[in-house]
Structure 1
Amino acid sequence: MPSSVRSAKSPSRPTPRSSTKSPIQKDPMEEYYKDPKKYQDFYNELYDSLQTEKANFDECSFVFLNTKRPLEPIISLQTTSEELFYGSFDGPIRCFSTSNGKRTQTLRGHASLVSGLELVSREKVVSELELGPVEDFSLENTEEGKEVFKSRNDYVLFSSSRDGDVRCWDLNLSKTIKRLTTETAAPMTCMKVCSKEGCPTLVATGALDGSVTMWNLAKGNISSVYTGHASAISSLEYSDNRLFSASLDSFVKIVDIEKEEVFSIIRPNSHPVRSISVIGNDIFVGTSTGVIQQYDIRTSTLVGCFRGHTDCVLCTKVYDPNYLISGSEDSFVVLWDIKTKEMVHVYGGHKDSVTAISITESDKSVYSGSLDKTIRRWAASSAIGLVQKESQLLEHKKKLEELLAKEKKKQTK
């Protein structure tokens, strides 16, 4: 009987506290430190294993390329673990399976270039958004008494277009269930869904005329318009009730949504801004020069620069707090170490500008879309793993060199 299980016949007694200290955990490498020759063999095995892993590394795990009916040039892109959605110049949004690359559906409604796509969890869309007639979707009651939009698909898709429309799509019915537009709506260049306490309440759209429009999703009307930019809006981000707008006028402006006022302005060395990404108090700004600049949002001060692209940076995405991914007109996708500002891996394969990047939430797969009419899936996590192993190998190398030097010094005495 295990000691932790007390016998039924044994009297219950308080267990005395042990006076002995918990054993100190030994360094698993200690035996190697005592024997440099043994450590040398261990290091050589690690080195050979890493070289084999690097030789077998396949940076691109899948290429979406329909030879019978070629894809259109990719302008916007969103992905889940099961499906990918892309928009092009012509209006329809095309959907493909991520497992076999076959087309699953086509969403028709936009009449021009699809400038933005965003997937929102079905559980975060509440009934007060008035998404359409009951037959278009089902409603389920929550503990709070609110009704939540439900669909067999886990997501609803929002899209923006140069035709001046924002559409919300039921991915099971392949139809629009909410449309935001006005007779004078400017051609839209980008879009961002803004959520409060997990529920989408506003949609921000950027336009060719430099304006940023905030749409009330529940009422279907415009709640506010910001006109501070002098040129087309290239990118929008949302974080902590702040809206970030980037423009070809070389400015990034930050708006407090509740106060409806601009509280900070960043100007990255007078270069047109093509893309932005935000995490915490940091904003990453992709410029037309190919340099990505990192700023502290609280002070608008430059923290550092990522140099490697040779042409305009069209898209950026934060992979996790340690890594950043970017796509450029130079046709390359680059994985960056945020701390060191160094390139972790450069992904080649596209033959034209990389216009869109998407990262799946579930498995952190990275997808890139290009004007070359292909979508590629990249092994970002494997590349990060290789870099981490190389770093560990370097530490072992330094330690081994120290031990060998000490051993040599002993022999010379």
Structure 2
Amino acid sequence: MTAKILEFPGVTQAQPPIAQFIRIGESHTKIAELVSMDRFPARRAVLKASRLQYQRRLIELFKQHGIETVLDPQVAELASLRKFAAQERNAPWARHGNNQPLGPDHFRKGASTDVIGEIARTAVELGFDTVLSPTHYLADDEIPDWFNIDREACIALREALDREGGRRISIDYPVLHALKQLQQSEVRSEVLSAFGSLPVENAWLRMSGADGGLGPETTRRLLTMLGGLHNIGVPLILDQLGGPTSVAALAFGLASGRAIGISEMERFDASQWHKPPEPKRDDEQGFGRTFRYAIEGLGRTLSGAEVKVLTEARGGKKLLVGRLGGVTDLLENGREVHLDQISREIDALESVPLLRRDDWFLTKPMAQMVRTSRQVAELKPPRDQAELLKVNVDGLMKRLGDHAKAMSKTQIALEAFRESRSEDAPRARPAGLVRIKKEERKWEQR
């Protein structure tokens, strides 16, 4: 395939929109409340197939409020030895595995089990606007042919959607791979070759091993790798990559949007997917893990106990709580606070002309993170309060000190990266406008 470089026109005042998708996890009840109160700022939402039985009302609310809905069929998880028996087993098509992971034969043309057809029928029945194509983790050594199988499955999904009455439903194509492998030019070339003939609107990139936290070497290598995907030919969405790293990638024009959860699904790790599931620990409660709070301007998250300890230090409350009413506001409304932060990040970035976004990121958010991380690292939290909350204060302050140093070094590395790029360097193609369905197919800007 002869790749065509797609970039924005060289007009400094062009301000293309950024596609922000919110992945809905266990917080669907809270999300429904925010939508009903017109306090859900995002215009695109991703729903997991394993949770559809609990989220039908939420889907209806999204449609009523003009929010684009995306179905994630979770077939990559269902093909994983580690994940297929976890929460993902509740996906409607999981039963076709007969208590085993779904394999290549479930997705080949003419498969005896109609997984692809069932995905299409579910999307049509529930009125989804977009479906993520059934793709798999390409760094899986056990099944090296997933790449070819997935491309054929994408075409089959388009045919199934059309056949079931879902012609208006678009398809986005997820690429799940290991970051280390994507840093190899031959691996990126193979990925790029997939998009010449596929009936998709966006590519989603989910990288195992990528971290949303900034670090000088890892961040620059990640941005350089993303620059090697500028020939992909369709808008590029960073999937399950949150934190300041994703904002940096968007600011440098290396991605068209991102898809993250609210204090969850901000990092993708498939390194253990080939292993059997671990037995549940006694200290685990329900689904998920300990909630961590996104602290604006810090560039990292903290546990609830860490927040309480740090805000007891002199000046800590102002640094960590900032614009909020108080510590209780953050601790009781952590998801809503994080969602507001996510929305304001994107709104601020969209207001900046495309060719000035990298400079804006370095002089505004990045500079703020450097200042705030240094100030937080210098706090003197009371040891008696730390002992009461079972927080190792020495370990916490060491981590915060290391984080502050990493922020300073990352700022220098990003400035050098900016200087290495010309103003007319290729940039990711902008994502399309929000797609919704009311009485008929309609496009509406974010």
For normalisation by structure 2, the TM-score amounts to 0.26
CA radius of gyration, larger in:
1
Give the number of the structure whose residues are more often strand, by fraction: 1
Greater relative contact order structure (CA < 8 Å, 6+ sep): 2
For normalisation by structure 1, the TM-score amounts to 0.27
